[in-house]
């Protein structure tokens, strides 16, 4: 009888691919921080990162077809791959809209949300790496709690930012643009939470 460790050890191809996927998601958020500091920056790097993420997802799907035995359930691997892919996809959508309206957004500070996004994707990367040590439930719980805390902070920040928009102090068109961008940032946080939830479920099922 094979043990889970033997089947899904350090050399497992799927873990390596999922880790690469999480790293690309984190890289997309770092690019977002660069864009916020330099609004005229090209969007090409976002496209490249999202394509890399898509290629990883496609590779995972192909290898699942060609692999007879996997350490984790195939459905779980696919679910996590999809969840991770959605992060840079949402980041790219934000970047496109921010780039279009950058001239109007000179006095809007997105840095607090960007910091939360960076922290969230860092935790996602750490959580995916936990798939190499499925028995460490305490560490996995700590990481998931940290991700939930970041999401809570993002929610509180969102309420504060919307209160400012709803005050009527800003130009109506600008308020609509900013609200749209705030909601896209919230969606990125939600995508990180979704990925974290998948990892947590995988670890609980295999512990």
Closest by Cα among 114, 190, 199 to 152: 190
**Given this model, what pLDDT does residue 71 score?**
77
* Domain assignment of residue 23, yes or no: yes
**Given this model, what pLDDT does residue 182 score?**
95
**117-132 core/surface letters (b: 16 or more CB in 10 A; e: else):** bbbbbbbbbbbbbbbe
Segments in the chain below pLDDT 50: 1-11
* Domain assignment of residue 86, yes or no: yes
pTM: 0.88
| Number of domains observed in the structure of the chain | 1
Structural domain span for residue 157: 11-206
* Domain assignment of residue 5, yes or no: no
The label of the residue with tokens 């600008």 reads: 174
* Domain assignment of residue 1, yes or no: no
| CATH, residue 121 | 1.20.58.220
3-state secondary structure of 14: helix
**What is the C-alpha to C-alpha distance for residues 102 and 104, in angstroms, rounded to an integer?**
5
* Domain assignment of residue 123, yes or no: yes
Assigned token pair, 136: 């460490």
**Given this model, what pLDDT does residue 207 score?**
75
**Given this model, what pLDDT does residue 7 score?**
45
């Amino acid at each position: 009888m094979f043990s889970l460790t033997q089947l899904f050890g350090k050399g497992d191809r799927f873990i390596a691919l999922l880790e690469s996927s999480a790293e690309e998601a984190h890289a997309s958020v770092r690019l977002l921080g660069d864009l916020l500091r330099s609004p005229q920056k090209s969007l090409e790097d976002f496209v490249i990162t999202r394509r890399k993420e898509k290629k990883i997802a496609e590779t995972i799907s192909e290898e699942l077809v060609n692999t007879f035995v996997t350490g984790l359930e195939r459905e779980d691997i696919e679910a996590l791959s999809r969840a991770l892919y959605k992060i840079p996809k949402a980041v790219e959508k934000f970047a496109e809209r921010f780039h279009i309206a950058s001239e109007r957004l000179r006095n809007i500070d997105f840095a607090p949300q960007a910091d939360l996004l960076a922290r969230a994707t860092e935790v996602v990367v750490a959580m995916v790496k936990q798939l190499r040590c499925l028995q460490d439930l305490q560490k996995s719980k700590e990481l998931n709690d940290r991700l939930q805390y970041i999401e809570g902070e993002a929610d509180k920040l969102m309420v504060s930012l919307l209160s400012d928009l709803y005050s009527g102090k800003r130009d109506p068109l600008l308020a609509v643009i900013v609200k749209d961008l705030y909601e896209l940032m919230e969606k990125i946080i939600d995508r990180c939470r979704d990925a974290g939830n998948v990892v947590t479920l995988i670890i609980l099922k295999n512990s």
